[in-house]
Structure 1
Amino acid sequence: MMTRYEELILLSPELGVEECREIVNNFSAIVEREGGTVLKVDDWGVKDTAYPVRKFNRGRYVRMEMNMPGKAVAELERNVRITDGVFKFITVRLAETPAAATEEA
Structure 2
Amino acid sequence: MPLYEHVLIARQDLSNAQAEGLIEHFGTILADNGGKVVDSEYWGVKTMAYKINKNRKGHYLFLRSDAPAAAVQEMERLARLHDDVMRILTVKVDQHEEGPSVQMQKREERRERR
TM-score after normalising by structure 1: 0.86
Paired with 1:35 and 1:76, the residues of 2 have a C-alpha distance of 12
CA change 1:43–1:96 in 2 (3 A) is closer
TM-superposition CA deviations, 1:45-68 (whole Å, max 9, x none): 001001111111110100100000
CA RMSD of aligned residues (A): 1.5
CA change 1:96–1:40 in 2 (3 A) is closer
State yes or no: 1:14 paired with 2:6: no
TM-superposition CA deviations, 1:24-51 (whole Å, max 9, x none): 2110001111111101111000010011
CA change 1:97–1:5 in 2 (3 A) is closer
Percent identity between matched residues is 30
Query: Which residue of structure 1 lines up, in the alignment, with residue 36 of structure 2?
Result: 37
Query: Which residue of structure 1 lines up, in the alignment, with residue 101 of structure 2?
Result: none
Do 2:3 and 2:96's aligned partners in 1 also have CA atoms closer than 8 Å?
no
Q: State the secondary structure of the residue aligned to 1:84.
A: coil
Query: Which residue of structure 2 lines up, in the alignment, with residue 102 of structure 1?
Result: none
Paired with 1:26 and 1:47, the residues of 2 have a C-alpha distance of 21
Q: Give the deviation of 1:97 after TM superposition.
A: 8.5
CA change 1:96–1:87 in 2 (3 A) is same
Q: How does 1:1-105 map to 2 (within 5 A)?
A: 2-96=1-95
Q: Can you give the 5+ residue segments of structure 1 that lack an aligned partner in the other structure?
A: 99-105
Paired with 2:32 and 2:51, the residues of 1 have a C-alpha distance of 34
Query: Which residue of structure 2 lines up, in the alignment, with residue 103 of structure 1?
Result: none
Q: Give the deviation of 1:92 after TM superposition.
A: 0.8
TM-superposition CA deviations, 1:4-41 (whole Å, max 9, x none): 00110000010012211222211000111111110111
